[in-house]
């Protein structure tokens, strides 16, 4: 079968995929990414002092805190090769700030970290913000199956071990999900009617079901 040719690919993902290196790789492959921005709370839990309430000034390379103070970069290199982040602090201003107890529990004041690839992430953030309806569509399509299977059915962890077995377990769960969805939409009688109308599809469906079980044990998963 020939590969599907498309002019462009749009990939939408949740906050767990908010990783600059991975998103850059997608961009290099011509994949346009839409990922919800991660928001980090502070130690006190006060929403007005979450990290997204600190504004970055690119010209001065400082962060402006909710109280109007500037937090400067403490070092010119990344924290380490893994984190790839820069630190911004202003211990003197924090020590004199009346909002300190609401902002941080740190003795030396509040510290904001900035990924060295934040400029690129800002581009992804702006693109996602401009296409909120597209992102909402993704949430309606994708979140429902996982919410039902994980929360509604209680399948919050795997019972098997090993990649092949886990794939089988996942495939069974979503086969059941898809079957229930079709039953809810069409009804059992309509499903059987349509399958019998196409004898090949009906026999293939039966074959797939039979392949899931052999001597009481799962041996194959068909997605």
pLDDT digit string (tens) for 137-178?
888 888 888 888 888 888 888 899 999 999 999 888 888 888
Query: What mean pLDDT do residues 175-200 have?
Result: 82
Residue 211 confidence (pLDDT): 57
Higher pLDDT, 116 or 81: 116
Q: Where are the domains of the chain?
A: 47-116, 157-218
d(CA 84, CA 146): 32
Query: For all residues of the chain together, what is the average pLDDT?
Result: 83
129: closest CA among 61, 58, 50, 52?
52
Question: What percent of the chain is modeled with pLDDT above 70?
Answer: 83
Residue 92 confidence (pLDDT): 95
Q: Taking the model in full, what pTM does it have?
A: 0.64
Question: Each residue of 77-97: b (16+ CB within 10 Å) or e?
Answer: eeeeeeeebbebbbeebbeeb
Residue 23 confidence (pLDDT): 93
What is the full DSSP assignment across 39-54?
Answer: ----TT--GGGSGGGS
Half-sphere exposure of 177 (CA within 13 A, CB side): 20
Asked if residue 138 lies in contact with residue 114, where contact means CB atoms within 8 angstroms, the answer is: no
Tens of pLDDT, residue by residue over 33-57, are: 999 888 777 888 899 999 989 999 9
Residue 223 confidence (pLDDT): 34
Residue 121 pLDDT level (bands cut at 50, 70, 90): very high
d(CA 211, CA 18): 38
Secondary structure E strands in 138-186: none
């Amino acid at each position: 079968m020939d590969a599907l040719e498309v002019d462009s690919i749009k990939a939408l993902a949740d906050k767990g995929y908010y990783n600059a290196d991975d998103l850059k790789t997608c961009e290099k492959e011509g994949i346009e990414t839409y990922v919800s921005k991660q928001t980090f709370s502070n130690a006190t839990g006060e929403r007005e002092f979450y990290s997204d309430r600190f504004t970055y000034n690119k010209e001065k390379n400082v962060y402006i805190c909710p109280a109007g103070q500037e937090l400067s970069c403490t070092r010119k290199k990344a924290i380490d090769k893994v984190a790839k982040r820069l630190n911004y602090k202003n211990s003197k201003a924090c020590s004199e700030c009346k909002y300190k107890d609401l902002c941080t529990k740190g003795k030396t004041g509040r510290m904001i970290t900035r990924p060295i690839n934040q400029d690129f992430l800002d581009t992804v953030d702006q693109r996602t913000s401009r296409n909120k309806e597209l992102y909402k569509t993704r949430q309606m399509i994708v979140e429902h199956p996982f919410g039902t299977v994980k929360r509604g059915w209680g399948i919050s962890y795997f019972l098997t071990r090993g990649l092949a077995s886990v794939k089988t377990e996942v495939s069974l769960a979503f086969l059941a999900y898809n079957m229930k969805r079709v039953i809810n939409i069409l009804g059992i009688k309509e499903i059987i009617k349509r399958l019998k109308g196409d004898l090949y599809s009906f026999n293939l469906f039966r074959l797939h079901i039979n392949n899931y079980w052999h001597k009481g044990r799962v041996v194959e998963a068909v997605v």
